[in-house]
Structure formats: structure tokens, C-alpha cells
Amino acid sequence: MKGRKSIPSKIIDITGGTLRTHKPPRDKEPQPKERMPRCPKHLDKEARKEWKRAGKILLSIGLMTDLDMAVLAGYCDAFSQWAEATEKVHEAGLVYKKSDGTPGLNPYLRVAREAYDRMMKAAVLLGLSPSSRASLKVEKPKPKSKTETFRDRKNGTNS
């Protein structure tokens, strides 16, 4: 099926809802529970740090569910590889001398570039890039009034 990718309802709601898109709401779309998935054991120390940092942000704006685990893990793994390869480039320089004495580009440049490309693709899917969140508008829920709290208790909805 070709054409534009569907935008998740959660993103449509954050960007202004169906009034902005002029399309009827998609009420049959799955709505997984917002929750931070467990960090996969295969991620290294740097990737786990990024998992906590990025996951906290995504969860705070309601864009993290168990279904997003693999995308976030891929992003964090690529972030870690990019960081390590970038460090190696800084240590050894952009150019090195080959065995025949001619200059050559540091092979870690390619590793860093490929990891960065993977990281950016996942970042766009997760809403972690400036362009992917340019139209997001996150509104904080306003606190309940005393009257609403009283009504909720009286009706048995303790939320």
C-alpha cells in the first residue's frame, strides 16, 4: 500500500486533534497503555543511560508504551555506537597513515555515520527530533477543583 504513512491518533491529538486534520477520529486504532517498558539486557552502559533519559521524556508526554520498546532500544543502541565511534575519531583523528604511507580516512567515521543515520531514523519515529515534534503541543492537565474531587468521590471514581 503506497501513499502517506498514517499518523497515530496520539500524535493527531497532541497537534490539535481532528479539527486541524479535518478527518473523522479513528476510534478503532489500538490504544496501548502508556508505560515505560523494561530496558533490554543486551544494551550497554551508554545505551542504558540514554534509555532512561529519552524514555523519561517520552513517558512524560504520553508517547511511550510497551510496543515502543524495540524502536527505543534500536535508538539507544545506535546512540551508544555513535558516541563510541565519535570518541575514537576524536582520539585518532579524521585521517590516518595506511601501511603504504598514504593517508586514509579513519574507518570509525563510517561507523559513526551509519550509527547516526540509524539513530536519527529511530528518533523521528519516537518524536525525538526537532522536525518530528515541531507541530506537537503538549498541554499539562489542569488540577481538579475541590468540587470535581468531591463529585468523583461521591460517584465512586477515585481518580
Q: What share of the chain is helix, strand, coil (3-state, %, to 5)?
A: 50, 5, 45
Q: Would you state the cell numbers that stand for residue 158, as one nine-digit string?
A: 477515585
Closest to 36 in 3D by CA, of 16, 57, 15, 19: 57
State how far Cα 149 lies from the chain centre.
34
The pLDDT value recorded for residue 150 is 78
Closest to 118 in 3D by CA, of 85, 71, 53, 86: 71
Separation of alpha carbons 13 and 137, rounded Å = 9
Examine the pLDDT at 158 and tell me if it is beyond 70.
Answer: no
Q: What is the pLDDT of residues 43-96, one digit of tens each?
A: 999 999 999 999 999 888 888 888 889 999 999 999 999 999 999 999 999 998
Examine the pLDDT at 32 and tell me if it is beyond 60.
Answer: yes
**Does the pTM exceed 0.85?**
no
Examine the pLDDT at 134 and tell me if it is beyond 90.
Answer: no
The pLDDT value recorded for residue 46 is 97
Separation of alpha carbons 5 and 50, rounded Å = 27
State how far Cα 127 lies from the chain centre.
5
The pLDDT value recorded for residue 77 is 97
Q: Would you state the cell numbers that stand for residue 3, as one nine-digit string?
A: 501513499
Contact between residue 155 and residue 147 where contact means Cβ atoms under 8 Å apart: no
Q: What's at 14, amino acid-wise?
A: I
The pLDDT value recorded for residue 133 is 64
Q: What is the pLDDT of residues 92-127, one digit of tens each?
A: 999 988 889 999 999 999 999 999 999 999 988 887
DSSP H/E element including 95: strand 95-97
Examine the pLDDT at 1 and tell me if it is beyond 60.
Answer: no
